[in-house]
Structures are given as structure tokens and as C-alpha cells.
């Protein structure tokens, strides 16, 4: 057994506290969903109790609190909200913001009392984020954007970046980072299994609601998330870790287990019909694996082919045999054809944005003025000037479904450059560290490099990096990776000798 193996073995310290926090949080969430059917006040009370629980966790088990915050958008946007009455469902979206604010303040106070706060915020990522904010502010002033619209536009774009700094405030070793990633990955694997169950047995299994496709898919499966693109994004989060583990772990049984998990995740990805995530698998995850670990790329290619064949030929709808069987190949050809003839809505949004970018190339039209939730909620004269409004003809279509297009139009080339710098500063170091790493360290760093690249590509067909959706997970990955790289393998060896607690 190697030192790298010891670094990720569970220690003898008790993890009863973090488990109690997780169990209490689940009970509060279930209670909120049930009580809110009859009493909005009960929802508020359960939400307040959950924030209080997060505050206690931040004091006693800060790393557990960080993971809790990272998972909160999954719960408040895609699980609890679907169980609530329509008139109060939107209120649940503020839960993750409240948790983030509470935990961040407590962790900042802890870091300040330990004399570490200033060092954390000396990180060059903060410089890039300040530059982005300054560019957005200048754009808002020059374009006459109302102050409240500009404020919400900036906050919705970069608030998730706080998740980069939360790990830095408390510190994560390699083993602790792997535990955190494993918790999130475990939820994604469970969601993938449920999606496969939807395909195999019935689309509305356990009350989950599929999405009807428009290109012959019949139904697009979304598991617990209610949105196949969100499911696809979280699958992209988890897939590279499984593939690199299948290629590099020293224990053969663990390699086979990781390979099986990778197959399950890929099968669920095909069943989601999330083409943006399929593109991200190739251009994001695939390209990074080619740089970091070609053995993982070969195994991933084999698993992708086998899982695609399984998705095409596996039994479907065994509990509802009269339901039509979707055709993955034909529906995808139909979608490509729609893009080719200019009938794809995302393509139309790009074409609509070209003259806007031409007129406002450097700093854009101002934060909150195009493409995102802020422009939808507050209105914008840009849509009238450039005839954008007719493209929002679908009642459920509120954004341009392209985070990078939204960012480019609102903050221009300079804003996009500053935002990318904030991600690339830690990202490049993580990539370089992954190329030199072995064992579990390569799984962590290589998985982070490939997952963040995949999520960035996937955001070209979604708005998931806006506000508190997949953006929390994206920035958490970068924060954890920055810590693992900075610590170095020598620190991992020392931690293995100490047997530090993985959960606190």
C-alpha cells in the first residue's frame, strides 16, 4: 500500500457530527417541502432553521458547511422548488444565497481571527474578479443602466465565485478534497441511476418529470433535476473523475468499480439528450483527458461507445410498454438539420447578438441588459432596439441559453477576458499539476481540470454559470484544485502520517 493510498483512507476520528448535520438538513428539506403545501410560514421557518444549521456547521465543521453550500442549488432550484406550490416556488431559490452569505461570513471571521484572511484575498483571482466588476461598472455608467439592474447583473454573474474562496478560508488537503468531491459525485451517481430507471421502467418513475423533446426524442430524462441540461452538466462534473480513477488507481477492484460508475454516468448522459453536454464531453472532457491522461481517454472512448450502444438498444418503458421508443440517432440528425437551416433558437440568438457586439465590442451594453434572468425580470431597451424580443416566443424561454454570449454582449471583450482570467489563473496551475501527479492526486487534479473544461463548454448552450446553479460546483472545483496544487505531494504524505479527519 502506497502513501498515496493512505492519504485517502478514512481516519479513526468520528464523522458522526458531519453525518448528523447532513441528516438534519435532509429532514428540514423534507419538512419544508411537506409543510409548504399548506403554510408558507412553515417554509420560511424550515429555511431559517437550515440557515442556522449551516451556521453551526460553519463553526464546528467548516468543510462540511462548504460542501453543504455547494450542494444547496441542487436542492433549492431543482428538487424542493418542484415540490412547492407555484406561487412560492421561486422563494426557495434564495435559500442557497442565504446559506452562501451565512457560511462565507462565519468562515471569513474564523480566517480573520487566525490571521489568514488577508493572505486568502491576496490570491490573483480576486484581482481578475475586481477587474471584471470595474469593467461592468464602467459599462453600466456609460450605457445608462439603472443602478439596481447593474447590481443584480454583476451579482448574478460572479456571486458563485465566492465558492472559490470558501475552501481557501478553511483549507482542504487532498483527502479532504476527495471526500468533498465524493459526496457531490455520489449524488450525481444516484441521479444517473434514477435516470436509467426512468428509461428502463417508466419516465415518471417516483414522480420524476421528463421533458418532451422537439426533435423526435419523445421524452428527455432529467432524473431529480427536472431539466436534462442540468442533469447533463452534473454528469460532466462527475465523469472525468470516474474515468481517471479507472485508469490510474493502484487497486484493481477500485479501477473496475470506477469504470462501472463511468459507464453508468455516460449511459445517463446519452439518455438525457443534452446535446450541449455531449459536445462538452468531447470538446471539454475529451480534450483535457488527451492532455492529462491518454489512458483515461482511451477507456472513456470505449465506455462512451459501449454506453451509447446500450442507450440505443436497451429495453425501454417496461412498465408502460405502449409508449413510443425514442431514437437517439434520428433525433440528433434532426437537431443538426435544424441548426443547418437556421431553425435552431440558440443559433438565432447568436445571429441576433452579432450587430449588438459590433456596436458595443469592448465593454458591452451593460450588466443586466441582455440574455440573462435580470434582463428578463427587469426588461431592457436593448431587446427593442435590436429586435430580440420576438425570439422569446416560447413561454419557458427566458434567457439566450448561452452564458458566454450573454457575458460578451453585456460586458464586451474586456469583460469576457477578465472573467476567463479568473478561471484560467487557477485552472492552468491545476492542469500542470495534473500532468505531473500520480494515483489519487491525479484523479483529483485531472478530474478537476477536465470537469471545469467540460462545464465551461457546456455553458455555451446553457446559462448554468449564471447565478447559483452549476456555477457553485464550477468555482468549488477550482478552489479545491488550487489548494491541492499549492500543498504539493509532500503535504499529502505528511497528512497520511497524521491521519487528519476527512470530514471536519
Burial of 12 (0-12, 13-18, 19+ CB in 10 A): exposed
Contact predicate 167/481, CB 8 Å: no
- Cell 418513475 -> residue: 205
Predicted pLDDT at 283: 96
More confident of the two residues 244 and 335: 244
What's the pLDDT tens digit per position in 77-130? Answer: 666 655 555 555 566 667 788 889 999 999 999 999 988 898 888 899 999 999
For residue 69, the Cα-to-chain-centroid distance in whole angstroms is 12
More confident of the two residues 5 and 410: 410
Does residue 332 register a pLDDT over 70?
Answer: no
More confident of the two residues 372 and 87: 372
Least confident segment among 69-83, 178-192, 328-342: 328-342
What's the pLDDT tens digit per position in 49-67? Answer: 888 888 998 998 999 899 9
pLDDT category at 26 given cuts 50, 70, 90 is confident
Does residue 461 register a pLDDT over 90?
Answer: no
Phi-psi region of 371 (alpha: psi -120 to 50; beta: other; left: phi over 0): left
What's the pLDDT tens digit per position in 126-182? Answer: 999 999 999 999 999 999 999 999 999 999 999 999 999 999 999 999 999 999 999
Please give the share of the chain, as a percent, with pLDDT higher than 90. 56
The sign of the torsion formed by the CA atoms of 222, 226, 227, 231 equals: negative
Q: Hey, what's the cell of 110?
A: 474564523
Nearest to 425 by CA among 481, 470, 367: 481
Query: Cα–Cα distance between 413 and 403 in angstroms, integer?
Result: 14
pLDDT category at 333 given cuts 50, 70, 90 is low
Pairing of strands 211-212, 219-220: antiparallel
**Across the chain, what does the average pLDDT equal?**
85
Predicted pLDDT at 9: 44
- Length reported for the chain: 504
Predicted pLDDT at 8: 46
Does residue 329 register a pLDDT over 70?
Answer: no
What's the pLDDT tens digit per position in 295-323? Answer: 999 999 999 999 999 998 999 888 887 77
What value does the mean pLDDT take over residues 333-352? 68
Amino acid at each position: 500500500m502506497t502513501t498515496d493510498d493512505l492519504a485517502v483512507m478514512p481516519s479513526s476520528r468520528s464523522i458522526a457530527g458531519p453525518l448528523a448535520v447532513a441528516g438534519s438538513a435532509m429532514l428540514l428539506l423534507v419538512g419544508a417541502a411537506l409543510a409548504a403545501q399548506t403554510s408558507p410560514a412553515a417554509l420560511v421557518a424550515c429555511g431559517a432553521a437550515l440557515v442556522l444549521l449551516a451556521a453551526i456547521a460553519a463553526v464546528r465543521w467548516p468543510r462540511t458547511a462548504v460542501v453543504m453550500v455547494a450542494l444547496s442549488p441542487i436542492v433549492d432550484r431543482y428538487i424542493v422548488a418542484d415540490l412547492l406550490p407555484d406561487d412560492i416556488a421561486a422563494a426557495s431559490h434564495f435559500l442557497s444565497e442565504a446559506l452562501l452569505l451565512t457560511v462565507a461570513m462565519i468562515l471569513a471571521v474564523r480566517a480573520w481571527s487566525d490571521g489568514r484572511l488577508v493572505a486568502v484575498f491576496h490570491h490573483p483571482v480576486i484581482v481578475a474578479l475586481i477587474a471584471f466588476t470595474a469593467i461592468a461598472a464602467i459599462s453600466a455608467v456609460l450605457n445608462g443602466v439603472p443602478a439596481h439592474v447593474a447590481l443584480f447583473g454583476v451579482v448574478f454573474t460572479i456571486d458563485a465565485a465566492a465558492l472559490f474562496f470558501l475552501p481557501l478560508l478553511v483549507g482542504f488537503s487532498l483527502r479532504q478534497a476527495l471526500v468533498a468531491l465524493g459526496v457531490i459525485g455520489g449524488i450525481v451517481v444516484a441521479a444517473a441511476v434514477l435516470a436509467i430507471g426512468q428509461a428502463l421502467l417508466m419516465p415518471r418513475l417516483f414522480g420524476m418529470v421528463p421533458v418532451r423533446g422537439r426533435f423526435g426524442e419523445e421524452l428527455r430524462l432529467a432524473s431529480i433535476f427536472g431539466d436534462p441540461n442540468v442533469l447533463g452538466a452534473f454528469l460532466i462534473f462527475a465523469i472525468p473523475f470516474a474515468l481517471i480513477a479507472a485508469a490510474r488507481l493502484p487497486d484493481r477492484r477500485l479501477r473496475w468499480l470506477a469504470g462501472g460508475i463511468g459507464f453508468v454516468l455516460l449511459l445517463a448522459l446519452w439518455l438525457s439528450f443534452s446535446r450541449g453536454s455531449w459536445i462538452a464531453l468531447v470538446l471539454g472532457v475529451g480534450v483535457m483527458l488527451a492532455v492529462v491522461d491518454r489512458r483515461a481517454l482511451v477507456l472513456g472512448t470505449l465506455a462512451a461507445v459501449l454506453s451509447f450502444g446500450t442507450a440505443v438498444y436497451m429495453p425501454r418503458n417496461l412498465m408502460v410498454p405502449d409508449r413510443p421508443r425514442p431514437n437517439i440517432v434520428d433525433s440528433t440528425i434532426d437537431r443538426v438539420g435544424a441548426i443547418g437551416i437556421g431553425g435552431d433558437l440558440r443559433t438565432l440568438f447568436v445571429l441576433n447578438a452579432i450587430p449588438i457586439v459590433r456596436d458595443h465590442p469592448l465593454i458591452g451594453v451593460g450588466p443586466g441588459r441582455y440574455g440573462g434572468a435580470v434582463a428578463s425580470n427587469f426588461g431592457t431597451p436593448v431587446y427593442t432596439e435590436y429586435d430580440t424580443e420576438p425570439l422569446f416566443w416560447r413561454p419557458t424561454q427566458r434567457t439566450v441559453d448561452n452564458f458566454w454570449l450573454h457575458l460578451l454582449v453585456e460586458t464586451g471583450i474586456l469583460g469576457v477576458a477578465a472573467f476567463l482570467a479568473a478561471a484560467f489563473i487557477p485552472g492552468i496551475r491545476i492542469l500542470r499539476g495534473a500532468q505531473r501527479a500520480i494515483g489519487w492526486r491525479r484523479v483529483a487534479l485531472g478530474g478537476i481540470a477536465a470537469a471545469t473544461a467540460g462545464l465551461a463548454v457546456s455553458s455555451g448552450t446553457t446559462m448554468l454559470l449564471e447565478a447559483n446553479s452549476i456555477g457553485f460546483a464550477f468555482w468549488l472545483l477550482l478552489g479545491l484544485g488550487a489548494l491541492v496544487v499549492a500543498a504539493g505531494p509532500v503535504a499529502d504524505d505528511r497528512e497520511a502520517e497524521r491521519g487528519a479527519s476527512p470530514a471536519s
